A and B are shown apart, each in its own frame.
Chain A
Amino acid sequence: MSEEKGPRVEMATPFDPRAAILAPGHTYASITDKISALVLTRRTPRGWFLGFTIAFLLLMLLLFTAAYLLATGVGIWGVTVPVGWGFDIINFVWWIGIGHAGTLISAILLLLRQRWRTSINRFAEAMTLFAVACAGLYPLLHMGRPWLFYWLLPYPNTMGTWPQPRSPLVWDVFAITTYATVSFLFWFIGLIPDLATLRDRARRRFWRILYGFLAMGWRGSARHWARYEMAYLLLAGLATPLVVSVHTVVSFDFAISIIPGWHATIFPPYFVAGAIYSGFAMVVTLAIPLRKFYELEDFITMKHLDNMAKIMLATGLIVGYGYMMEAFMAWYSGNPYERYMILNRLRGPYAPVYWALLVCNVGVLQALWSARVRRNVRALFAIALVVNVGMWLERFVIVVTSLHRDFLPSSWGMYRPTIFDWTMFLGSIGLFLTLMFLFIRLLPVISIFEMRALLPETAPTPGGGTMRPAEAPTTS
């Protein structure tokens, strides 16, 4: 431990850009300066203003739709009998799923000691938070009278009632609330040391005070770090079962019912895999432009993109297995309604959506077997976008095809989204992007202190061993 070693990285082996999770030549100072400069000193790129303007206009579309919805009622949407769960539930599940990658990267990859998570965890966590915010909008607005949302919560009330915990929809309230809270805590606790860095480096008084207020007087004391690492590790341990539980509970919304196509035991694992799949697709979708426009190729390297592509491939294959099992069980169960459900997906009025989802989620994905494709940034970006679309189509198929033709042909119907379904959906993308743009501008998109901790270990120490300062908690 006491060997003389400067902070500069010296590579003992030739630099392999495909394996590095941090480009060579960086020091503690250069990492700090480069990442904090994005927030503090660098001129805001013109592209940021353009992107933010578009996102903000879409957000206004959301506000307009929500206002019209509150004034008129959910009748402005296409939801009606028999399809009472239209875009709102589709989008809710889609957004919640996207949120899962953030916690997976922060918590599960931390516990598995995947050091490459370090440069992508911060914005993946932010993405989680914003995706959960978008998801939360839909059930609230779907209630029809959102101003009575607190009826969902268990509190003694003059009506003499309580929420019914035998319903998975009530489980949802608890799962989503807990998930949003824990995601926020995880994100914020990770930010504290970096907020202290910004406080110490900000030149203008206003920002010094603002970041100083948020950093709460963090000074990097060894005792504080010991408790901090312990808290972070425990949070990761708590968030790991949580992230699995959240999409499991979301899948219970479907699986606990007796609707053909929903009543399936495979739903929880299949939903969790789908959530991670779509979440990583969204992380890739955001990471590629971010590293390009902010010149962060040193920190978000090809190794990161390659690893994320591999996770997409693995989870995508699990999702593909889920599709196969749905079809197999429909046939094997011998239940005529289940069998009709899958035939209706394959040949019914929504068949093009089902086939498109198979092409997007299973077909296009296979390109990621090729290392050449995984290392081609443009191809990877295109595939990630296709997967985002595919996962949305999957939720459309699950929600709509099962509901529109269930048991009695006399009660069959068709679901047609209205213009306000679309403006609401586009608007929630606007909300997500607006928050993302503000985050990129105001907070460090990459965890600065964790990147510093990564530095000594990317350089072999003279003694032969490598130092791993942040690897294990420093207290028992």
Chain B
Amino acid sequence: MSERTDLYGLLAEFDAPEKVVAAAQRAYAEGYRQMDAYTPFPVEGLAEAIGFHRTRLPMIVLLGGLFGGALGYALLYYAEVIDYPLIVGGKPFHSWPAFIPIVFETTIFFAALSAVLGMLALNGLPMPYHPVFNVPRFALASRDRFFLLIEARDPKFDREATRRFLEALGADGVWEVEP
């Protein structure tokens, strides 16, 4: 039944964070995998409920920080030892204690930049178009409503059966999402 192309998925609306978490857990237990939940603020346990457990972001930030630190040190070493050696206060050219503040700052700079850009990239943002916005009620996802989406590409998806399932979960409404 997942052949239909006029439907992106079904969107169920809830009025409380606990309800959407419970619904997501039930849907996952039912065997649905291609789903997402939309909430106006981060809800504890919701990402796990839809089967999302780990993000690679911390590794990206670590690598960004290491890259920044290495870049900073390499820059200073090249500038002060190789390209433009200058005796200042009788200190050696490779006076690494004086390099620490700058290496620290470049580490933070690149780590912070990779945290933000990495988060946006992993989230696929900026995204100019997404089908869920076709549901007028979805504007409330940034206000006080909580949504659970089951996508039509899920192998278990069936237009009628999934709708009945979502309604049985106590949804205040179930909306069809145009692709």
Contacts and interface: CB of A to CB of B under 8 A. Distances in A.
B29 interface: no
Contacts of B127: 216-217
A165 B53 contact: no
Contacts of B39: 220, 222, 225
Interface string A451-466: 0110010000000000
B86 interface: yes
A227 B123 contact: yes
A161 B84 CA distance: 6
B18 A3 contact: yes
B79 interface: yes
Given A160-B84, A182-B109, A217-B130, A227 B55 contact: yes
B84 A201 contact: no
B115 A7 contact: no
Given A185-B113, A238-B112, A470 B41 contact: yes
Interface string B40-52: 1111111111101
A181 B129 CA distance: 29
B143 interface: yes
Contacts of B79: 154, 162-163, 165
Nearest to A246: B105
Contacts of B119: 189, 227-228, 230-231
B5 to A, nearest CB: 22
Interface string B43-86: 11111111011110110010001000000000110011001101
Interface string A134-178: 000000000000000000001000001111111010110011011
A7 B102 contact: no
Contact of B50 (A164, A168, A222, A249): A222
B24, B65, B119, B139 pick with most chain A CB within 10 angstroms: B119
Interface stretch (B91-99, B150-158, B159-167): B91-99
B118 interface: yes
B122 A28 contact: no
B101 interface: yes
A470 B44 CA distance: 7
A189 to B, nearest CB: 6
Contacts of A181: 109, 112-113
A377 interface: no
A51 interface: no
Contacts of B104: 241, 245
A219 interface: yes
Contacts of B116: 185, 188-189, 231, 235
B57 to A, nearest CB: 5
B37 interface: yes
Contacts of A160: 84
A201 to B, nearest CB: 7
Nearest to B78: A162
A200 B52 contact: no
Nearest to A3: B18
A470 B17 CA distance: 12
Interface residues of A, number: 77
A228 B41 contact: no
For the residues of A in contact with B, the DSSP-based class is helix
Nearest to A450: B41
Contact of A245 (B57, B89, B101): B101
Contact of A452 (B41, B50, B54): B41
Contacts of A468: 44
Contacts of B38: 219-222
Given A234-B61, A469-B41, A171 B101 contact: yes
Contact of B17 (A29, A162, A227, A456): A456
A196 B19 CA distance: 23
Interface in A374-420: none
Given A217-B126, A475-B47, A235 B101 contact: no
Contacts of B140: 200
A230 B57 contact: yes
A119 interface: no
Contact of A228 (B50, B53, B123, B130): B123
A238 B64 CA distance: 12
Nearest to A199: B142
B46 A225 contact: yes
B141 interface: yes
Contacts of A2: 18-19, 21-22
A164, A188, A223 pick with most chain B CB within 10 angstroms: A223
A472 to B, nearest CB: 7
Given A7-B16, A154-B75, A474-B47, A178 B143 contact: no
B141 A175 contact: no
Interface string A196-228: 110111000000000000001111111111111
B101 A472 contact: no
B65 to A, nearest CB: 8
A18 interface: no
B111 interface: yes
A475 B101 contact: no
A468 to B, nearest CB: 7
B174 interface: no
A368 interface: no
B172 interface: no
A316 interface: no
Nearest to B46: A222
Given A217-B126, A470-B42, 14 more contacts: A2-B21, A32-B144, A162-B84, A165-B80, A178-B108, A178-B112, A185-B116, A197-B40, A200-B143, A225-B42, A226-B52, A230-B58, A245-B108, A475-B53
15 contacts: A2-B21, A4-B18, A28-B40, A163-B79, A171-B102, A222-B37, A223-B50, A226-B47, A227-B119, A241-B104, A242-B112, A449-B40, A456-B17, A467-B17, A476-B54
